[in-house]
């Protein structure tokens, strides 16, 4: 009698870059049931509202993103904006994660019950983060949105703000919510700290104090209106990009929305502007079952990850004759605030590499941009950007991690570009006006096409030119163990705590605990030499600190920098 042989399943963690299998997919019904059925315990830190650099994130299955969380956060936002005198509409957008739709329902019910005007997508579709930011700036045009003009004491009546329901590139089981004030960018820590504290008070009070409509009271509500986010964004693209050049050059674009909110935007961009643009995967699936697994075996819509982007990279591989299907292929995460650039001659570009190329191109080809405007980067982005900025004779404006630090410059034109190493960036229009004050992945993807159209060369080729001029940096991030007490000490360091004078054989030129560009605390430490640097920052969710490091002297030197960085940090945090 024969027996059926069963091949043991290979663990997902051992299958990075391979297509997801049925056992890797979430149970959507269970996820949605948990959203309403599970009630968070605010005495458990893992179930409280916590705003990171991109809002509150969690999973209903872990009781960290549930109906009660969203009701409490939304009520807190209502009270915050009332205290600020903001009386205009709240623009509410959502991405394609399974938890985003019910979270939007909760959010809208609470806003309307508080007599707050609400605008949702008039097409009933998904809304990328940059489309919300762009719409906020459009509705608030002509108003002073800088810190000097916008304050609790100022005239904020009629100003619009926004809520985007997205966990960005996080796995399908996750949900997220972030608040964008009237300046259109990410809320600062004062705002998010206040909102989180108030939300947790409401959770502790079992939502006593939360006003909310019944679901059947929403449709037809006089304070509920629609806004055509897609039309506003797509129509305005010629203000920020040379769309004529892209069309006339016939640049072949393969755009992969990665199952996210940009799916209808890419189709409309191609049709309306007459581009040779193919949406390579128009499928929307809350399980994201078409994805390839990320480095740890999880499904993650990270357009900067070679594993998550494996199918698009493979598709771009030139044939035996050297022909690729597209001149550039692009990817976006679920809310389209990040970009991934794939070229036939270089594969998936490192985000730092593309940022350097983008900066070099933009500052040489945007003649109306102010000559005094600096180059904005986060302090953990590549020093290749520093060298490019110097070659352009532009001031380098180095800020802490978080896109919120770029908002003032993008609003005023004093900072025409802001980028971070995690593949997030935005820049101003052709005439120097604000475009978005949040990251815009679609914009950077289209910029890659403009670069090809104008220069006739791929961004990968242009980066090799920059290496020939400025050297070839090697960049990496690692994690090192740390207790909660050690992480707290790391956040409070001063430059004087670093007593060593050399790093990996080079003299230390600077030890920084405040960002050079705006003097804001970096929440960690950065050490700089002539040809290398490292930055150490505590993780907000794990018992580790993160070491970002780079060397222009090769991989062996980078490894030495990383090892010595850990010894330096461990010595000062105890």
Catalogue the active-site residues.
168
As a whole number of angstroms, the distance between CA 262 and CA 101 comes to: 16
Tokens of 2: 């024969």
Torsion of CA 111, 115, 120, 123, to 10 degrees: 130
Buried b (16+ CB within 10 A) or exposed e, 430-448: beeebbbbbbbbbbbbbbb
CB 323 within 8 A of CB 37: no
Return the closest-CA partner of residue 260 out of 137, 352, 388, 129: 129
CB 125 within 8 A of CB 264: yes
Return the closest-CA partner of residue 205 out of 4, 40, 419: 40
Q: How far apart are the first and last CA of the chain?
A: 65
As a whole number of angstroms, the distance between CA 105 and CA 222 comes to: 16
As a whole number of angstroms, the distance between CA 291 and CA 485 comes to: 38
Residues 6+ apart with CB under 8 A from 137: 145, 184, 434, 435, 436, 437
Give 58-61 contacts, CB < 8 A, sequence gap 24+.
Answer: 58/174, 58/175, 58/176, 59/31, 59/99, 59/173, 59/174, 59/175, 60/31, 60/32, 60/34, 60/35, 60/99, 60/173, 60/175, 61/30, 61/31, 61/34, 61/173
In the block, which residue shows the tokens 């903001």? 86
Cβ-in-10-Å burial (0-12, 13-18, 19+) of 490 comes to buried
Cα–Cα distances (Å) from 359 to 60, 209, 384, 391, in that order, read 40, 48, 11, 11
**Phi and psi, residue 507, nearest 5°:** -65, 135
Tokens of 253: 């674009």
As a whole number of angstroms, the distance between CA 496 and CA 490 comes to: 13
Residue 50 CA to chain centroid, in angstroms? 17
Q: State the CB neighbour count (10 A cutoff) for residue 567.
A: 9
Any alpha helices (H) in 56-118, and if so which ranges? 67-83, 100-113
């Amino acid at each position: 009698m024969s027996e059926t042989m069963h091949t043991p399943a290979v663990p997902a963690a051992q299958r990075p870059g391979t297509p997801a299998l049925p056992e890797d997919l979430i149970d959507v019904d269970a996820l949605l049931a948990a959203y309403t059925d599970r009630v968070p315990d605010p005495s458990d830190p893992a179930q409280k509202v916590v705003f990171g650099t991109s809002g509150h994130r969690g999973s209903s299955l872990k009781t960290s993103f549930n109906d009660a969380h969203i009701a409490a956060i939304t009520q807190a936002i209502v009270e915050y904006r009332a205290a600020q005198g903001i009386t205009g509409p709240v623009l509410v957008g959502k991405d394609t994660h399974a938890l985003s739709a019910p979270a939007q329902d909760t959010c809208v019910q609470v806003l309307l019950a508080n007599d707050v005007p609400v605008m949702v997508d008039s097409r009933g579709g998904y809304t990328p983060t940059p489309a919300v930011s762009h719409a906020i700036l459009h509705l608030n045009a002509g108003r002073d949105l800088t810190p000097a003009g916008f304050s609790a004491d100022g005239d904020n009546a009629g100003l619009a703000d926004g809520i985007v329901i997205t966990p960005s590139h996080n796995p399908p089981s996750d949900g997220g919510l972030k608040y964008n004030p009237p300046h259109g960018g990410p809320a600062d820590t004062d705002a998010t700290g206040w909102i989180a504290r108030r939300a947790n008070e409401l959770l502790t009070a079992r939502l006593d104090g939360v006003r909310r409509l019944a679901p059947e009271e929403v449709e037809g509500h006089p304070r509920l209106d629609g806004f055509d986010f897609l039309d506003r964004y797509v129509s305005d693209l010629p203000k920020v990009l040379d769309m004529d050049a892209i069309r006339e050059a016939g640049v072949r674009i393969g755009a992969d929305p990665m199952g996210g909110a940009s799916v209808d935007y890419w189709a409309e961009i191609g049709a309306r502007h007459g581009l040779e643009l193919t949406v390579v995967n128009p499928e929307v699936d809350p399980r994201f079952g078409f994805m390839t697994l990320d480095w740890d075996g999880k499904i993650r819509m990270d357009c900067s990850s070679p594993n998550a982007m494996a199918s698009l990279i493979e598709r771009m591989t030139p044939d035996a004759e050297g022909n690729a299907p597209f001149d550039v292929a692009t990817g976006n995460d679920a809310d389209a605030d990040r970009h991934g650039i794939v070229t036939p001659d270089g594969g998936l570009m490192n985000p730092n590499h593309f940022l350097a190329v983008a900066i070099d191109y933009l500052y040489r080809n945007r003649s109306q941009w102010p000559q005094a405007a600096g180059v904005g980067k986060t302090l953990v982005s590549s020093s290749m950007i520093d060298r490019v900025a110097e070659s352009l004779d532009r001031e380098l404006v180095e800020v802490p991690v978080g896109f919120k630090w770029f908002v003032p410059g993008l609003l005023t034109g004093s900072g025409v570009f802001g980028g971070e190493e995690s593949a997030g960036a935005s820049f101003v229009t052709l005439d120097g006006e604000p475009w978005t004050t949040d990251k815009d992945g679609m914009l950077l993807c289209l910029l890659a096409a403009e670069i090809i159209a104008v220069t006739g060369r791929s961004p990968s080729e242009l980066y090799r030119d920059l290496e020939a001029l400025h050297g070839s940096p090697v960049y990496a991030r690692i994690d090192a163990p740390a207790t909660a007490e050690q992480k707290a000490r790391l956040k409070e360091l001063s430059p004087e705590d670093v007593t060593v004078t050399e790093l990996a054989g080079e003299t230390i030129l600077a030890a920084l605990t405040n960002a050079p560009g705006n003097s804001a605390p970096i929440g960690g430490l950065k050490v700089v030499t002539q040809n290398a640097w490292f930055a150490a920052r505590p993780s907000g969710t794990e018992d580790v600190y993160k070491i970002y490091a780079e060397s222009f002297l090769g991989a062996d030197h980078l490894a030495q920098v990383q090892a010595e960085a850990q010894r330096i940090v461990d010595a000062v945090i105890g």
